[in-house]
Amino acid sequence: NASSFEWFTTGEGVLTGELTLTPSYTPDISDPSVIELRLIAENPPCAQATDFFNLTIYQAPTANAGPDGQGCQGKSFSDFNADTTNSPSVYWTSATGGPFDNGNTLNPTYNPKAIDYTNGSVVLTLHAVGNADCAEATSTMTVFFNDPPTSDAGGPGEVCEGSSYTLNGASVTNQSTIE
């Protein structure tokens, strides 16, 4: 039975529809993490009726999957350097649907599918879940798979004491260095 009512805020954002029962508030970057929304109703000569509630304002999440990585054919990959902010939880997905161990952490272990090795790489996506109605943030990284090295020392061989022996028949493949 109020003859009038109006909403007020302690925030610096924009309050629209303050003369309706369904206003909306758009936070300003300078707002603190909690502001107050207050509804005042009047019906003279009676006293004003006032009620309020606190509105919690969350910052949007960010995600950084980290740099691209190098993996080895036939092996799982766990060399992650991921980071998020303003996110209560995270999860990882793979472009090919490969599974993760501890996939709800920033440093999981990815277990590649055969198609990942065939393709030579796979794109992995970090999802940072937002608080309240904040949209999810995502970031991707690519893992490139190298063929494992092989080595064959050649041999066997025989040599007489005091003589020298020249090794031959040795080979390596897929190496970055030879020691």
Residues 91-127 pLDDT 10s: 999 999 999 999 999 999 999 999 999 999 999 999 9
Shortest CA distance to 73 belongs to which of 122, 134, 13, 23? 122
Which residue has tokens 């980071």?
Answer: 83
pLDDT of residue 172: 82
CB 29 within 8 A of CB 21: no
Distances (CA, A) of 35 to 30, 107, 174: 11, 36, 61
Give the tens place of pLDDT for each residue, 44-89: 999 999 999 999 999 999 999 999 999 999 999 999 999 999 999 9
